[in-house]
Structure 1
Amino acid sequence: MTTTRTPGTADPRRTSTAPDATTVWRRARGFLLALAVLIATGVAIAAFNSGKNHAALDPRSTDAAGSRALAELLGERGVTTRVVTSTREAARAAGPDTTLLVTSPELLSPDRLSTLKAATDRSGGRTVLVEPDSSSLATLAPGVRTRPARSDEVRAPACTLPAAVTAGPAATGGGNRYTTDTPGVTACYPDGDEATLLLLPAPSGGDTVLLGSAGILLNETLAEEGNASLALHTVGTRPQLVWYLPSLAEAAESGRPDEDKSLFQLIPAGWGWAVFQLALAAAVAALWRGRRLGPLVTERLPVVVRASEATEGRARLYRKAGARDRAATVLRAATRERLAALLGVPAAQTHDPAVLLPAVSAKLPGPAPELTTLLFGGTPADDAALVALADHLDALEREVRTS
């Protein structure tokens, strides 16, 4: 069967309002481009930070509080650095040719401290404890007392320990100070009657170093004073260095997690930069969506309706609703606007009887009808009166137009 189409009607194949592939691509390409840029930026930042670890005293971290610089210097001198995160790994790695560096002994539980002490006593190697507190010293270095430092000044070694003599003054201020009555202990970098660095010999032939300040191990201070020399001669005396970073699980098990940290300290590093990126992306998206790059484009309507059909449809709706008042108001308002345009009445005074009525009366050649009722009257009584009103308005407009 052949389908015919009446002239003037829309092609049914072109009346669909669903967007085609071209329209979808045109609308989505900006968003996809912004998403691609965001992903590329994230990948670039991740790649840039891939070599970083933001934990303090981490030999893999290039942050100011990391120790990557020291690990690189040790590697150049043939010392192999290995990172462990559990007490079991640290105890297993201890040996005569190994230096065991414990970065946060205060985070370990008593059981883990005992395991570590037993392993280091029989290893014959060196153990370096960074800023140990009184609770960890009770197990790892009995007989040693500690208290916080009084100042963070650079201090001279004031001892005969070769590593300290070679390094000279170092940034050993801050952290903790130690004192002991145990014989055979070497105390360096004194602060009054206390010392920042203690060397305690072990019966098995090894030794334990108490380092009261971590400043000589950090990237940001390694190049100051004699810090680098002191660090290399303290943790680089054996061919292998086991760097023990207690894990978060071990810290939580000890019952002493970082309880004094503020909310902002608990937020991962770099959060400010991430918030700035999100704000910038939101601003760019707002500018993109609100742009005006040219004049408005007329949208092709799926169906074209003739004005006469729209008028008839509205008239039927008025009749069905019995809205003679609304229909009469629309007819009178439209007539007044057309008359005002013909008579040169200002647009602001189109619906002002005191201005429009004299202008219309002056234009009529014969006696004027009841213009006030015709142009500004009330609601017709019935449909016939409404039709008569439309005829009278039309006749008045023709008369003014032809006069």
Structure 2
Amino acid sequence: MSASSNGRPLDPGSADPDGTMALARLVRAHGVTVTATNDPAETANEPDPADVTIVLAHPQRASRQALDRLAQLAGQGSDVVLLEPDATVVDALGLPVTVTGRVPSGTPSPQCQLSEATTAGAVTLGGRSAFRATGPDAAELTMCYPVESASVLVVVPAPRAPGRPREAAGPGRFVLIGNAGFMTNDRLDEQGSAALAIGLLNRHRTLSWVTPQLGAPDAVARRGLLDLLPDRVPLACLQLGLAAVVLALWRGRRLGPPVPEPLPVVVRAAETVEGRGRLYAAAQARDLAAAVL
């Protein structure tokens, strides 16, 4: 895997704080072959699906066909790790979970029997989306790191692929991570972040890290310009709108019909005529002055 300087978030070739180059190197140090690609279709060329872990960053950028292929690989024994999937991705894969909204950040303990999580212990998670189990298959799910009433990490066993012999290795699994920040270069050394990330990614001898390109025409969740704005922009616009309303109400108190008021002083009529005349002269309003005269 060659290093890259493109600086994309969650890119294993990026040394930026939000990249994952440090994690890729740690996984390689554990004897795992790490490859990186921008094309999810390249996962179809895996020679041994039962011995590969596929990480899909920004899964909403992948096509439905690519997600279907990943589901097939999971049924053949692959681990498919989805980093921050949204509701469209979960629905396209037919997983028995629902995606919640933003949950508060925290450092929860695993509270599950997943070996990778129990080894890592507490990890700083939350701050983004989380998951809740739904449907009749909810009992088969492993829900880890609860934040409020949802879990930030969920393991969903994949159904066995049709025609796969029973004596072969068991089916793979989907690993849903609601906030992948603990995998980045900036936060990999916090609490049990490194232990959890390495434990999830070194179960097989091959790791394929897929980062689809932004703006793919066949993406399962196509986003418009407003969707690309940071989360704080709508809040800032709302605050500016409220400020404009308050300003309009404050200024509106000065509007209304004229109200006659007694003058606090007596002004001679000659001074008033002279003042008006000077105003007409300054404005060169000859026609108006002649009409008044």
- TM-score computed with the length of structure 1 as normaliser: 0.50
Match of 1:60, SS state, is: coil
**Counterpart check, 1:253 vs 2:218:** yes
Offset, 1:175: 2.1
Match of 1:146 in 2: 99
1:248-276 Cα offsets, whole Å, 9 max, x none, are 36x3332624623459xxxxxxxxxxxxx
Asked if structure 1 preserves the Cα contact closer than 8 Å seen for 2:103 and 2:148, the reply is: no
**Counterpart check, 1:119 vs 2:119:** no
- Stretches of structure 2 that go unaligned for 5 or more consecutive residues are 161-170, 231-293
Match of 1:174 in 2: 127
1:63 to 1:180, Cα distance in 2 relative to 1, 3 A? same
**Counterpart check, 1:224 vs 2:190:** yes
- Stretches of structure 1 that go unaligned for 5 or more consecutive residues are 1-49, 264-403
Match of 2:149 in 1: 193
**Mean Cα deviation higher: 105-114 or 201-210:** 105-114
Query: Separation in 2 of the partners of 1:116 and 1:126?
Result: 9
Asked if structure 2 preserves the Cα contact closer than 8 Å seen for 1:107 and 1:257, the reply is: no
Offset, 1:84: 1.7
Asked if structure 1 preserves the Cα contact closer than 8 Å seen for 2:82 and 2:176, the reply is: yes
Offset, 1:155: 1.3
When Rg is computed on C-alpha atoms for both structures, the one with the higher figure is 1
Which of these residues, 159, 181, 185, is aligned with residue 203 of structure 1?
A: 159
Which of these residues, 5, 17, 25, is aligned with residue 72 of structure 1?
A: 25
**In the alignment, residue 60 of structure 1 is paired with which amino acid?**
G
Match of 2:53, SS state, is: strand
Query: Separation in 2 of the partners of 1:63 and 1:141?
Result: 34
Q: Which has the higher contact order (CA 8 A, sep 6+)?
A: 2
Asked if structure 1 preserves the Cα contact closer than 8 Å seen for 2:13 and 2:21, the reply is: yes
Asked if structure 2 preserves the Cα contact closer than 8 Å seen for 1:146 and 1:178, the reply is: yes
Query: Separation in 2 of the partners of 1:203 and 1:56?
Result: 31
Match of 1:220, SS state, is: coil
Asked if structure 2 preserves the Cα contact closer than 8 Å seen for 1:175 and 1:214, the reply is: no
Match of 1:183, SS state, is: helix
Match of 1:102 in 2: 56
Offset, 1:141: 4.3
- TM-score computed with the length of structure 2 as normaliser: 0.67
Please list, as runs of the form range in 1=range in 2, the aligned pairs for 1:232-381 lying within 5 A after superposition.
232-248=198-214, 251-254=216-219, 256-257=222-223, 259=225, 260-261=227-228
Query: Separation in 2 of the partners of 1:258 and 1:211?
Result: 24
**In the alignment, residue 168 of structure 1 is paired with which amino acid?**
G
1:5-30 Cα offsets, whole Å, 9 max, x none, are xxxxxxxxxxxxxxxxxxxxxxxxxx
Offset, 1:106: 1.1
1:112-165 Cα offsets, whole Å, 9 max, x none, are 3223323332x2121101111111101224221011232011111111111111
**In the alignment, residue 91 of structure 2 is paired with which amino acid?**
A
**In the alignment, residue 218 of structure 2 is paired with which amino acid?**
E
Asked if structure 2 preserves the Cα contact closer than 8 Å seen for 1:221 and 1:227, the reply is: yes
**Counterpart check, 1:134 vs 2:87:** yes
Query: Separation in 2 of the partners of 1:85 and 1:198?
Result: 25
Larger helix share, 1 or 2: 1
Asked if structure 1 preserves the Cα contact closer than 8 Å seen for 2:95 and 2:156, the reply is: no
1:77 to 1:180, Cα distance in 2 relative to 1, 3 A? same
CA RMSD of aligned residues (A): 2.0
Asked if structure 1 preserves the Cα contact closer than 8 Å seen for 2:144 and 2:152, the reply is: yes
1:229 to 1:87, Cα distance in 2 relative to 1, 3 A? same
Offset, 1:235: 1.3
